[in-house]
Amino acid sequence: MSEQKLNVISNGTPAVFAFNDTSFTVKRDGSDKTKLDVPLYRVLWAEHSESFIAVHVLAKKGEKLVRVKAEGTVTQSDKGRLQQWIEALLDAAYAGIEEGQDVAAAALNAVKVVTRKVHPFSISIKAVETDKVKMTQMLESFHASVADGTSSPPDQLKQADTTLPQMKYSLEDTDGWITFDKPILYFYAGKGPYVSRDLMQFPVSMPNEGAIDVVVQESTSRKEMLATMDGAENGKGYWLDSPASTAGKAPASTASKAPKTETSAKATKKSSAGGGDEKKKRRKARKETYSSYIYKVLRQVHPDTGISNKAMAILNSFVNDIFERIATEASKLAAYSKKSTISSREIQTAVRLILPGELAKHAISEGTKSVTKFSAGSG
């Protein structure tokens, strides 16, 4: 690739932003002296307005990598190709790593599931609508009105007012407010269905409706957290029949969102064992532990690294949840095939469905080796 240049004014002096197949550089115009020179793969992202540009990169400062922002005003002669230059820069910087991004996103999700960090939380919201079915019907009506051209045009923009608006609601006014004060995993408030390309958080969001979308996720088990990852890009989590997640719409003027009560809360199913004069011995539930296997893998990968009891317990719980999910998926596959016994085929298919990309291939390969070794030893 030939060097792609963009002329800017940076810190009051003419400069040139340039990139090629291997690096991104910032130089003073007409000088060979380089102010910034980093490998192309360390370009993080770029942003711009009509004539301003900022490129965020990772650069070495001593022994550490730090985020550096190269910014400036684009010269009049290069304004017309600013958008094209930025697209070419990001295409070159991220070429061939889409799969890597997917794996990284999956890894981050796994970390969140393992840590399951809970936050103390309390919020009061003035609800506009909390019924999921009604909100879906409103969205369908909106799409229909847009399709047949019956939607009303937006109001004309009014002159901007710099004074603060009069307070509409007071702390004493509790009518119509919903209060959520349980520990949560995350809280989302905004406009638009997508939070990221693989997470549709609020599929019934509508533009210009005058409300803010809110989702509050109460603390739940790792197993349920893993289950919500399936179909997250299509908004499947929105329809989960669980009291742990609430969502809703609130007036934009209140700068808050009302949690939508999803469905009736599930009743807890734990009850006292035994009744009347019956005295039955309760068998102690078997708790699977994978600590020894986790420790062996850790010693193979990082022989000099130790692990605390708490960290081992977290990893053990995570592995247990993964195995439960694989077993559940495999049993569904066996039922679809009208089989009474789960075979290795169902297990391998379940692994491919649950684990991402190369991780699934590695798991199947190692699992096959273990089964072969076990069969040879018992034969």
| Domain identity same for 109 and 127 | no
The whole-angstrom separation of Cα 43 and Cα 47 is 12
Token pair of 297 as six digits? 């893998």
Average pLDDT, integer, range 228-253: 62
Does one domain contain both 137 and 218? yes
Q: Could you give the number of structural domains in the chain?
A: 3
Same structural domain, 12 and 93: yes
Q: What is the pLDDT of residue 201?
A: 76
Do 127 and 58 fall into the same domain? no
Establish if 155 belongs to a structural domain: no
- Burial class, 352, CB count within 10 angstroms (exposed 0-12 / middle 13-18 / buried 19+): middle
Model confidence pLDDT, tens digit, residues 8-31: 998 888 999 999 989 999 998 877
Confidence of residue 267 (pLDDT cuts 50, 70, 90): very low
Q: How many CB atoms lie within 10 A of CB 187?
A: 15
Cα 357 from Cα 364, distance rounded (Å): 11
Domain boundary among 190, 221, 239: 239
DSSP state of 325: H
- Answer for the pair 306, 101: CB distance below 8 angstroms, yes or no: no
- Domain residues for the domain of 38 are 4-114
Looking at per-residue pLDDT, the higher value among 337 and 59 belongs to: 59
Q: Are residues 212 and 181 in the same domain?
A: yes
Residue 340, both tokens: 């009474």
In a domain, 334, yes or no: yes
Q: What CATH number corresponds to the domain at position 33?
A: 2.30.29.30
Residue 7 confidence (pLDDT) above 90: yes
pLDDT at 269 over 50: no
pLDDT, tens digit (0-9, with 9 covering 90-100), for 56-110: 898 888 888 888 889 999 999 898 899 899 989 988 887 766 555 555 556 666 6
Whole-number pLDDT of residue 301:
76
* Domain-located, residue 166: no
Q: Is 81 helix (H, G, I), strand (E, B) or coil?
A: helix
- 27 with 84, same domain? yes
Nearest of 134, 4, 8, 182 to residue 78 by alpha carbon: 8
Rounded Cα distance, 311 and 329, in Å:
27
Q: What is the pLDDT of residue 98?
A: 56
Structure tokens at 264: 């009736």
Q: Are 290 and 320 in contact (CB under 8 A)?
A: yes
Amino acid (1-letter code) at residue 214 = V
26/339: higher pLDDT: 26
Which among 92, 141, 353 has a CA at the least distance from the CA of 227? Answer: 353
- The whole-number pLDDT of residue 258 equals 41
pLDDT of residue 276: 47
DSSP character at residue 151: S
In a domain, 315, yes or no: yes
> Which pTM value belongs to this model?
0.36
More confident residue, 323 or 153: 323
Domain boundary among 194, 215, 239: 239
- 52: which strand partners? 73
Higher pLDDT, 269 or 180: 180
Number of neighbours of residue 36 by Cβ within 10 angstroms: 17
The reply to whether 256 falls in a domain is no
CA-CA distances (angstroms) from residue 63 to 56, 58, 59, 66, 369? 19, 12, 10, 10, 42
Q: Is residue 89 domain-shared with residue 131, that is, in the same domain? A: no
Mean pLDDT within 321-329: 85
The pLDDT tens digits of the residues spanning 175-223 come to 667 777 788 877 778 777 777 666 787 888 877 677 788 888 777 777 7
d(CA 320, CA 317): 5
Residue where a domain stops, chosen among 91, 114, 137: 114
pLDDT at residue 173 greater than cutoff 70: no
218 in the same domain as 127: yes
Whether residue 342 lies inside any domain: the answer is: yes
Walk across the sheet containing 4-10 and list its strands: 34-39, 23-28, 13-19, 4-10, 64-74, 52-61, 43-48
- Quote the pLDDT of residue 159: 55
Residue 259 falls within a domain, yes or no? no
Q: What CATH number does residue 345 fall under?
A: 1.10.20.10
Residues 70 and 138 in one domain: no
**What are the strands, taking DSSP E only, across 106-210?**
123-126, 177-180, 184-190, 194-196, 199-200
SS3 131: coil
Higher pLDDT, 239 or 312: 312
pLDDT at 236 over 80: no
The verdict on 138 and 110 lying in the same domain is no
3-class SS letters over 238-298? HHCCCCCEEEEEEEHHHCCCCCCCCCCCCCCCCCCCCCCCCCCCCCCCCCCCCHHHHHHHH
Q: For the chain, what percent of residues have pLDDT higher than 90?
A: 8
Determine, yes or no, domain membership for 257.
no
Looking at the structure, do residues 144 and 191 belong to the same domain, yes or no? yes
Average pLDDT, the chain: 73
Residues 139 and 225 in one domain: yes
pLDDT at 256: 37
